[in-house]
């Protein structure tokens, strides 16, 4: 999925400018990191790319076609947008088994991918959603959101609750997805741990505008402990002190001690759990459906 934006502008109904003169030329297999202060316009750009906000000024092409033209929208490919609305959807807080939720978004259709995601995200399939911790709930949400193979993934800070080990596994999975399936990711975040070599492009947003954009080919890490040297085309980043490697080391030890869930022979089979249908999980208020609507647009 390629992204081409020329002089893209977006103005909110209140007349506040959300995006101004945004230009992007992103090739397939890219991993784009959006960096900027609160209120810079990162979410606004992601919503425009997801088709949730209509642009009236400028040009946007996804895979070479205009996503806002109904006739061509389907040729854009599958776009998955995991943002704030999706993360806060109440359905994932109800007393509902993990397997029921995962099946509701295609768990039986994408079996291999489902099991891969369950293992990667270290999900216990016997969890019930109302008894999950925030991070456990977020893992199930990510499993649901990433299940259908996407061509463009738009992530709006959805990793805050994850522990460093699961986050590292998720980032590795996403990198592999872009490389093996020609997919593209645009990721807005304020957490930069573990992202040192993950993106292919970094974009600096400020006040709805792009103020700097660098390909990682022109980013290097120096030996100094302070400062950043930035020119128009290159960036040299100082060595930084961080607890990240230590936290990753400790959490890896914790996992070694516990073992992967797949190694647990007493673990029930997904299919057996998924067969246990129960009327109380009937989607009476269409909450699963509405959850999915905030997740993706095709
Ligand atoms: N519906 C709206 N109407 C008017 N202004 C809005 C609306 N939604 C967002 N804004 C404003 O647009 C600007 C950009 O918001 P946006 O959510 O894109 O920022 P962001 O870079 O994602 O910030 P954060 O890092 O806090 O998530 C902010 O100043 C915000 O107040």
State if residue 14 touches ligand 1 by the CB under 6 angstroms criterion.
yes
Per-residue model confidence (pLDDT) at position 298 = 45
Question: Which atom of ligand 1 is nearest the CA belonging to 13?
Answer: 3
197 within domain boundaries = yes
- The complex scores an ipTM of 0.98
Q: How much distance in Å is there from the Cα of 46 to the middle of ligand 1?
A: 11
218 within domain boundaries = yes
258 within domain boundaries = yes
47 within domain boundaries = no
293 within domain boundaries = yes
Per-residue model confidence (pLDDT) at position 277 = 57
Q: How much distance in Å is there from the Cα of 40 to the middle of ligand 1?
A: 7
Q: Which of 42, 49, 208, 211 to mutate to test the pocket of ligand 1 (most atoms within 8 A of CB)?
A: 42
**What gap in Å lies between CA 78 and CA 153, rounded to an integer?**
9
21 within domain boundaries = no
Q: How many domains does the chain have?
A: 1
133 within domain boundaries = yes
Dihedral over Cα of 132, 134, 136, 141: its sign = positive
Query: CATH number for the domain including 143?
Result: 3.40.50
**What gap in Å lies between CA 141 and CA 102, rounded to an integer?**
9
Q: Which residues of the chain have pLDDT under 70?
A: 70-75, 275-298
Q: How much distance in Å is there from the Cα of 207 to the middle of ligand 1?
A: 10
- Return the residue whose CA atom lies nearest to atom 24 of ligand 1: 38
State if residue 41 touches ligand 1 by the CB under 6 angstroms criterion.
yes
Give residue-wise pLDDT tens across range 226-248: 788 888 888 888 888 788 888 89
Question: Which atom of ligand 1 is nearest the CA belonging to 34?
Answer: 21
262 within domain boundaries = yes
Model pTM? Answer: 0.89
Per-residue b/e over 84-104, b at no fewer than 16 CB within 10 Å?
ebbbebebbeeebbbbbbbbb
Question: Which atom of ligand 1 is nearest the CA belonging to 36?
Answer: 21
Question: Which atom of ligand 1 is nearest the CA belonging to 47?
Answer: 18
Q: Which structural domain, as residue segments, surrounds residue 267?
A: 29-36+78-297
């Amino acid at each position: 999925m390629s992204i081409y934006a020329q002089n893209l502008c977006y103005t909110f109904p209140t007349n506040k400018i959300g995006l101004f003169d945004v230009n992007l030329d992103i090739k397939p297999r890219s991993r784009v990191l959006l960096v900027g202060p609160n209120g810079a316009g990162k979410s606004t750009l992601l919503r425009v790319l997801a088709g949730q906000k209509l642009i009236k000024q400028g040009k946007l092409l996804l895979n070479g076609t205009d996503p806002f033209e109904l006739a061509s929208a389907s040729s854009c490919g599958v776009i998955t947008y995991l943002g704030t609305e999706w993360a806060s959807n109440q359905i994932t807080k109800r007393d509902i088994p993990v397997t029921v939720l995962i099946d509701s978004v295609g768990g039986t259709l994408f079996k291999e991918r489902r099991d891969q995601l369950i293992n990667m995200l270290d999900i216990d399939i016997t969890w019930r959603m109302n008894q999950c911790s925030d991070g456990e709930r977020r893992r199930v949400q990510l499993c649901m959101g990433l299940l259908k193979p996407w061509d463009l993934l738009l992530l709006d800070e959805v990793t805050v609750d994850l522990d460093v080990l699961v986050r590292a596994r998720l980032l590795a999975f996403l990198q592999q997805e872009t490389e093996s399936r020609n997919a593209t990711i645009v990721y807005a975040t304020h957490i930069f741990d573990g992202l040192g070599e993950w993106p292919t492009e970094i974009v600096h947003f400020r006040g709805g505008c792009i103020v700097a954009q660098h390909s990682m080919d022109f980013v290097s890490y120096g030996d100094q402990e302070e400062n950043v040297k930035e020119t128009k085309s290159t960036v040299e980043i100082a060595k930084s002190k961080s607890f990240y490697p230590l936290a990753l080391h400790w959490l890896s030890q914790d996992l070694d001690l516990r073992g992967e869930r797949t190694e647990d022979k007493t673990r029930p089979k997904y299919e057996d759990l998924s067969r246990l249908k129960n009327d109380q999980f009937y989607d009476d208020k269409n909450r699963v459906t509405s959850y999915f609507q905030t997740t993706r647009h095709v």
